[in-house]
Amino acid sequence: MASIKPSVPKGTRDFSPAEMAKRNFIFDTIKGVFRKYGYQQIETPSMENLSTLTGKYGDEGDKLIFKILNSGDFLAKADGNALETRNSNQATTSISEKALRYDLTVPFARYVVQHQNEITFPFKRFQVQPVWRADRPQKGRYREFYQCDADVVGSASLLNEAEFIMIYDEALSLLGLKDFTIKINNRKILSGIAQIIDKSDNIIDLTVAIDKLDKIGMEGVVKELIEKGFTDADVNQLQPVILLQGSNEEKLASLRKALNNSAIGLQGCDEIQTVFNYLASCKLQTATLELDITLARGLNYYTGAIFEVKTNEAAMGSIGGGGRYDDLTSMFGLKGLTGAGISFGADRIYDVMEELNLFPASAEQSTRVLICCFEPEAEMVALPLLQQLRAHNINSELYPAGAKIKKQLDYANAKKVPYTVVIGSDEIQSGLLTVKNMETGDQEKLTADAILQKLI
């Protein structure tokens, strides 16, 4: 076999033990909160039928789906004309029937429709699995990354929206974040704003412009609106809405006035008010909740609430988002099933936690005790202690005899093992083993029983 310089494909990553420990800390925390709120885990296959995925992510998305080459003699069934004309697009479906999932949402919709008769609705599911996108890799953008989603289908209650906010608050608080904002908006408010200036057909242009308020200021927004064909009168009417000030309650009151002539706009206000009412009796731990009518993500599928979460402690884009969609499963023929969902941006949360040094030391500790032997005979003294430690659920290792003690202690340090027990001929004779606190350097001589008592 030729020797190959080993590497991983562009945009993919290995995760070392230290990285895995931190990633598990994030995922376990979020999963625990999902479960606490009644969400249950499912998994779907990594590969879906290509036809399940095609057409769900727009033309650009379709190109970014990783296709799997049919097994066996795939050219036998290939589109000859496409091959001859080197038409890759046309050839694809004749040599590829399967593809890697691009997100967790479409597979979830497929799951709900396929298993609708086994599911008790409302169905609250969470899913934490990798997805694949043939995007150009860059800092923070990978071709394989985990998504971390919770969705409920079959319940129109706004209690779900309120609970999503509580889930964000609880999970991010548990992860140690101390200052973050959960922004909420409602598609119906955006529809209302378009309606009052009689520009419902231009809602995308309108919301794209408003969404830039943070970056380009009101002046820039006005410029863009005018360019897109909005009139001065439109802009004058929009200005107070876009520049809403005050508390969430004050903003809502102003909005109600401005949207007084839009039934759908007022409905959006009512929905936001209902969510706030639910939250009034459930104090948030850390999050700042902010009604932000410039928030317009996912406008092509969200029909009600829209969420976005940002940390205020580090320069970082959104670390979470979601919303309500009324028509998720209709792409697979099941109509009228309303749903809502949220997602955690695990990779970004990881980066924020690294930057702020939020991972607890315990997240990185795996082995708690390493027993080191000066000589092979010591192993037989070590083994009963080792088994006792493990019987008390203490992660423990015995370094196989034969290596120099320095190498064994280096191993302990590399693995961040907090305690070592050293056994040499003195220790075998006296029955007193040397136990060392690797952090302080303190060491003492104790019997195996005393060591056990000290460490359990």
Q: Point out which residues pair with 456 in neighbouring strands.
A: none
Using CB under 8 A, count the residues that bind a second copy: 111
Minimum distance from residue 84 beta carbon to a second copy (Å): 8
Task: Pick between residue 83 and residue 204 the one whose CB is nearest to a second copy.
Answer: 83
The interface with a second copy within residues 399-438 (CB under 8 A) comprises 400-402, 410-411, 414-415
Alpha-carbon distance of 385 to 420, in angstroms, equals 12
Task: Pick between residue 132 and residue 180 the one whose CB is nearest to a second copy.
Answer: 132
3-state secondary structure 260-325: CCCHHHHHHHHHHHHHHHHHHCCCCCCCEEEECCCCCCCCCCCCCEEEEEEECCCCCCCCEEEEEE
Minimum distance from residue 450 beta carbon to a second copy (Å): 20
**Options 218, 253, 383, 456; binder of a second copy; rule CB under 8 A:** 383
Q: Is 113 in the site for a second copy (CB under 8 A)?
A: yes
Residue 448, classed as helix, strand or coil, is helix
**Options 22, 30, 98, 294; binder of a second copy; rule CB under 8 A:** 98
38-46, 260-268, 309-317, 351-359 -> range binding a second copy (CB under 8 A): 38-46
9-17, 245-253, 256-264, 299-307 -> range binding a second copy (CB under 8 A): 9-17
Alpha-carbon distance of 154 to 115, in angstroms, equals 14
Task: Pick between residue 333 and residue 441 the one whose CB is nearest to a second copy.
Answer: 333
Whats the size of the chain, residue-wise?
456
Residue 41 and residue 127 in contact, taking contact as beta carbons nearer than 8 Å: yes
Burial call 400-428: b when 16+ CB within 10 Å, e when fewer? ebeeeeeebbebbeebebbbbbbbbeebb
**CA torsion angle 195 199 200 206 (round to 10):** -100
Q: Is 3 in the site for a second copy (CB under 8 A)?
A: yes
The interface with a second copy within residues 44-63 (CB under 8 A) comprises 44-49, 51-52, 55-56, 63
Q: Is 78 in the site for a second copy (CB under 8 A)?
A: yes
**Options 24, 236, 447, 453; binder of a second copy; rule CB under 8 A:** 24
Binding residues for L-histidine: 103-105, 133, 147, 151, 297, 301-302
